C-alpha cells in the first residue's frame, strides 16, 4: 500500500497551516483506508511546475493573441506612467488573489463542508500562493476547481481585452493564463491517470504541489 512520502517535508519545516492540513489528511486517510480504499500519491516538484507552466500555457495563449492581432492591427499601446504602472501592478496582484479565491469558491461548492475545507497561503520557498481543499472530491470536481481560474481570471479577461482593445486587461489575462500553468499540468496528469477500480476520489495534497487518489 502506498504511503505519502515525507522525504521532501523532512528537508523543510512545515508551517503550522501545513501541519494542521497534514494532521487532517492523516485522519481522512485512516477513514478511507478502513473503508477499503488504497492510496496513491501524484506530486510535482515546484521548480519543475514553475518551469513548465509557460510551456503548457502556450496553447491557451494563442487564441486571445490572434484575436487581438486580427481585430486591433497596429494598435498595441502599453506606455505607462509611474502612477499607471503601480495601478497595473496592483491589478496584477489582485488577480493573483482572485485566482486562488476562484479555486476556493469552486471547490467549496463541491465539498460537503464547503469553506471549512478550504485554506489559503503561500509556499514561501517559491513565493507561490496556493489554495488547498482538505476534503476528497470526485475526479471531475477536482479538475473543474483546478481549471476554473484559467477560464475566469485568464481566458475571459484576455479575450475581452483583445476584443475591446483594452491592452492592460488583455495583458493581465495573458499573465493569469501563464499563472494557471501549474493547474493545467496537474489537471492533465489527473485526466491521464486511469484506474481499474470502480471508485476513485481525489484529495488535494496537504503539503506539496499535486494530489492524492484513493480508490477501491
pLDDT, tens digit (0-9, with 9 covering 90-100), for 79-88: 665 658 888 8
In the predicted model, what is the mean pLDDT of the chain?
86
pLDDT mean over 58-85: 80
Q: What is the pLDDT of residue 1?
A: 38
Q: What is the pLDDT of residue 210?
A: 87
Among 44, 63, 67, which residue's Cα sits nearest to residue 184?
Answer: 44
For residues 95 and 98, give the distance between their C-alpha atoms in angstroms, rounded to a whole number.
Answer: 5
Q: Which range, of 48-52, 114-118, 189-193, averages the lowest pLDDT?
A: 48-52
pLDDT mean over 186-195: 90
Q: What is the pLDDT of residue 8?
A: 44
What is the tens place of the pLDDT at every residue in 88-139? 899 999 999 999 999 999 999 999 999 999 998 887 666 678 899 999 999 9
pTM of the model: 0.85
What is the tens place of the pLDDT at every residue in 4-35? 334 344 456 777 888 888 999 999 999 999 99
Q: Identify the band that residue 208 occupies on the pLDDT scale cut at 50, 70 and 90.
A: confident
For residues 162 and 164, give the distance between their C-alpha atoms in angstroms, rounded to a whole number.
Answer: 6
- Check residue 15 and report its DSSP letter: P
Strand boundaries in the chain, DSSP class E: 38-44, 118-123, 128-133, 137-138, 200-204, 209-215
Q: What is the pLDDT of residue 138?
A: 95
Residue 11: count of CB within 10 angstroms of its CB? 8
Amino acid at each position: 500500500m502506498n504511503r505519502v512520502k515525507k522525504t521532501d517535508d523532512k528537508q523543510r519545516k512545515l508551517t503550522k497551516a501545513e501541519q494542521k492540513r497534514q494532521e487532517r489528511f492523516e485522519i481522512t486517510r485512516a477513514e478511507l483506508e478502513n473503508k477499503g480504499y488504497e492510496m496513491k500519491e501524484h506530486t510535482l516538484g515546484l521548480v519543475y511546475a514553475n518551469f513548465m507552466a509557460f510551456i503548457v500555457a502556450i496553447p491557451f495563449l494563442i487564441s486571445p493573441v490572434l484575436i487581438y492581432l486580427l481585430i486591433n492591427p497596429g494598435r498595441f499601446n502599453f506606455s505607462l506612467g509611474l502612477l499607471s504602472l503601480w495601478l497595473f501592478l496592483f491589478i496584477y496582484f489582485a488577480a493573483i488573489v482572485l485566482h486562488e479565491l476562484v479555486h476556493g469558491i469552486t471547490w467549496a461548492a463541491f465539498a460537503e463542508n464547503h469553506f471549512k475545507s478550504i485554506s489559503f497561503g503561500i509556499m514561501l520557498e517559491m513565493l507561490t500562493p496556493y489554495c488547498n481543499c482538505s476534503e476528497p472530491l470526485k475526479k471531475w470536481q477536482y479538475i473543474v476547481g483546478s481549471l476554473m481560474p484559467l477560464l475566469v481570471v485568464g481566458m475571459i479577461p484576455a479575450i475581452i481585452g483583445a476584443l475591446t482593445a483594452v491592452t492592460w486587461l488583455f495583458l493581465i489575462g495573458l499573465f493569469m493564463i501563464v499563472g494557471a500553468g501549474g493547474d493545467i499540468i496537474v489537471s492533465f496528469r489527473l485526466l491521464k491517470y486511469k484506474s481499474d477500480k470502480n471508485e476513485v476520489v481525489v484529495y488535494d495534497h496537504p503539503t506539496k504541489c499535486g494530489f492524492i487518489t484513493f480508490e477501491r
